[in-house]
Amino acid sequence: MNEQNILIVRCGEVALKGLNKPYFERMLVDRIKRNLREFDGVDVKRHEGLIYVRADKNLDMEKITRQISKVFGVASISPAVEAESNLDAIGEAAVEYMMNLIETKGIKTFKVQAKRADKNFPIKSPEIGRIIGAKILIGCKVLKVDVHEPDCLLYVDVRHDKSYIYMDKIQGFGGLPLGTNGKGMILLSGGIDSPVAAFMMAKRGMVLEAVHFHSYPYTSERAREKVEELAGIIASYTGRFKMHVINLLPIQEQIVQNCPEEETTILVRRFMMRIAEEIAKETDCMMLITGENLGQVASQTAEALVVTDSCVSKPIMRPLIGMDKIDIMDKAKEIGTYEKSIEPYEDCCTVFLPKHPTTKPKLEKIIQSESKLDVEGLVRAAVEKDEVVIIRGE
């Protein structure tokens, strides 16, 4: 009987990383350890391309599994039992495992799927499967083999020093370990899209910092709290990060007073980008990230995106650019941000919303309108009042 519970954690793309593989694996182990920091009595080790998490029996395994499944780079997780790598020991462990399943899940049929990772093991995989299957039939009289639709598909993984028996594979998100792909500044609104964009970049290994714009007192204190809560859900995957909170109202007022009404939205967006870029420079963020999506609203037409891009020199990443709204919503549901995003609070973009926003802005005209404003001074004043909030995962 194992003293500790064991989880086998499989790496996704990390496994394809060739010569860099040890680096990615180390980063992944490090991230798993961080996500399990709150638990005493957990050990995380990598061995022969897999990661083994051993946890004291008294610990909440469901929570531990959930925490591991949130680590980017994890493809799947299996609760397993360990046995010495000989057929008697494996058979004994398999019988005990199945007895437990009969009791707790009432299973009646099974199939063994054996794999021999240790090619020096003297018996080939199909034969191992047959032998262990026979031992289970003798040890658990109520069970029958069903090769087509078994209640339990039992995996037997024979390795050099130890062997593992498991049945479930709990899916992770895949991706790459956080910290393996630079740092980016996500422009985070309270909407559905930007949290998904943040998640997608973080999933590819990018460390995040965020900026949120509000128009207090036109937007409420509660609207801002909602964004912090939304950021908290992202932090449950990424660990804590900083969010810069900026009041855009003074800039919006200048735009409304001095520029054509139909250009308000695109002008505001250019200011958002400039401010985000200034903060990105100070915080070593290599790129800006938005939840923009081709054609979704007036400010996201191809022409508008080009005009938005041209006011900054850092690249703007738009991971949702080609997705349909319905798919973005599904992703938001999957990662747990959707319910929070649809809470009805006002956004700074809806303050001073023009009746007929321009959908095909011309850069020369926009630059001409901006010449009526002290662009640099307004950006500087906004950045100087930057309020930094530390976002922690729930």
Residue 36 Cα distances to 53, 54, 129, 185, 239, angstroms? 10, 11, 35, 26, 11
Give the closest residue to 144 by CA, choosing from 133, 128, 131, 155. Answer: 133
Is residue 359 close enough to count as binding ligand ATP by CB under 6 A? no
Which residue, 77 or 197, has its beta carbon nearer to ligand ATP?
197
Choose the binding region for ligand ATP from 3-11, 57-65, 126-134, 190-198 (rule: CB under 6 A). Answer: 190-198
302-383-388-340 Cα dihedral, nearest 10 degrees: -30
Among 72, 166, 199, 213, binds ligand ATP (CB under 6 A): 213
239, 291, 357, 361: which one binds ligand ATP (CB under 6 A)? 291
297 interacts with, out of ligand ATP, Mg ion, none, CB within 5 to 8 A per kind: ligand ATP
CB of 129 to ligand ATP, least distance (A): 50
> Are the beta carbons of 240 and 392 closer than 8 angstroms?
yes
Nearer to ligand ATP, 39 or 218 (CB): 218
Residue 319 engages ligand ATP in binding (rule: CB under 6 A): no
Q: Considering CB distances under 5 to 8 angstroms, the limit depending on partner class, which of Mg ion, ligand ATP, none binds residue 308? A: none
Helix runs in the chain, H state only: 21-35, 61-69, 87-105, 125-139, 193-203, 221-238, 249-258, 264-282, 302-309, 325-335, 338-341, 363-370, 375-384
In the window 120-179, what residues touch ligand ATP (CB under 6 A)? none
Rounded to a whole number of angstroms, the minimum distance from the CB of residue 184 to ligand ATP is: 12
Among positions 65, 247, 254, 290, the unique one binding ligand ATP when judged by CB under 6 A:
290
Please report whether residue 231 would count as binding ligand ATP according to CB under 6 A: no
Is 116 an interacting residue with respect to ligand ATP (CB under 6 A)? Answer: no
Burial of 348 (0-12, 13-18, 19+ CB in 10 A): buried
Q: Among 259, 242, 252, which Cα is nearest to 214's?
A: 252
Contacting residues toward Mg ion, per CB under 5 A: 189, 191
Contacting range for ligand ATP; rule: CB under 6 A; set: 55-63, 140-148, 187-195, 371-379: 187-195
Long-range contacts of residues 354-358, Cβ cutoff 8 Å, at least 24 apart = 354/261, 354/262, 354/263, 354/264, 354/265, 355/261, 356/262, 357/262, 357/264, 357/265, 357/266, 357/298, 357/299, 358/262, 358/263, 358/266, 358/298, 358/304
Q: How far is the CB of 347 from Mg ion (least distance, A)?
A: 5
**Omega into 217 within 30° of 0, i.e. cis?**
yes
Structure-block tokens of residue 265: 């939205």
Q: Indicate whether 337 belongs to the interface with ligand ATP (CB under 6 A).
A: no
Residue nearest to ligand ATP as judged by C-beta position:
191
What Rg value do the Cα atoms of the chain yield, rounded?
27
Q: Is 311 in the site for ligand ATP (CB under 6 A)?
A: no
Distance CA 118, CA 85 (A): 10
Q: What's the closest the beta carbon of residue 265 comes to Mg ion, in angstroms?
A: 11
Q: How far is the CB of 81 from ligand ATP (least distance, A)?
A: 45
Nearer Cβ to ligand ATP, position 60 or 343?
343
Q: Residue 28, SS3?
A: helix
193 interacts with ligand ATP by CB under 6 A: yes
CB of 297 to Mg ion, least distance (A): 8
Nearer to ligand ATP by Cβ, of 95 and 187: the residue is: 187
Residues at the site binding ligand ATP, with contacts judged by CB under 6 A = 187-189, 191-194, 211-213, 290-292, 296-297, 299, 347-349
